[in-house]
Amino acid sequence: MSAAVGLWVVNILFTHSMMETSADKKVGKKTLAEVLKRHPLQLAASALFNFTPYVILLIALLYSHLHLAFGAIFLVLPRSVALFYLLWQYCYHPDREFKRKWWYGPIEHWDAICEKHLEWFAIRWFLARNILQFASLCFIVCSLLQ
């Protein structure tokens, strides 16, 4: 479980750096997203950080290292798919706008974000954060139930 949580933490940081590559490059900041440069490589890294936790947990479930209740973690998977899709759109159609969906989870100060025209950033970053939050809550509940 800790490897999955760690990868989702990295996912938050990578999602942020992926959307800030041009700004990071201007100031000489070397993030993994800036080093990878090309969108296909950035998206491959995003997929690795976003989806590998599910593979790890599936293997743990199949080999009975985790109680079957932990299968509930796959309820978070649609958020991971949505995040990857939104990052893909960011890479290839950066001007395309997306509406906030209720199932993305909480996004604090949404009105202020919209006033500053930062929805394009916030919707992806908060979604990455919410994946970790919901997965962690799922782990806690499953741990208490077992």
pTM to 2 decimal places:
0.93
At residue 145, the pLDDT reads 86
At residue 146, the pLDDT reads 76
At residue 79, the pLDDT reads 96
Query: How would you class 97 by CB atoms within 10 Å of its CB: exposed for 0-12, middle for 13-18, buried for 19 or more?
Result: exposed
At residue 72, the pLDDT reads 93
In the numeric block, the tokens 């960011």 are attached to 90
What residues in the chain have per-residue pLDDT under 50? none
Domain count, the chain: 1
- Convert the pLDDT of each residue in 33-51 to its tens digit: 999 989 999 999 999 999 9
Q: With b meaning 16 or more CB within 10 Å and e meaning fewer, what string describes 32-52?
A: bbbebeebeebbebbeebbbb
> Is there a contact between 138 and 36 (Cβ–Cβ < 8 Å)?
no
At residue 138, the pLDDT reads 94
At residue 49, the pLDDT reads 97
Q: Domain of 87: which CATH number?
A: 1.20.120
Show the domain range for 125.
Answer: 2-145
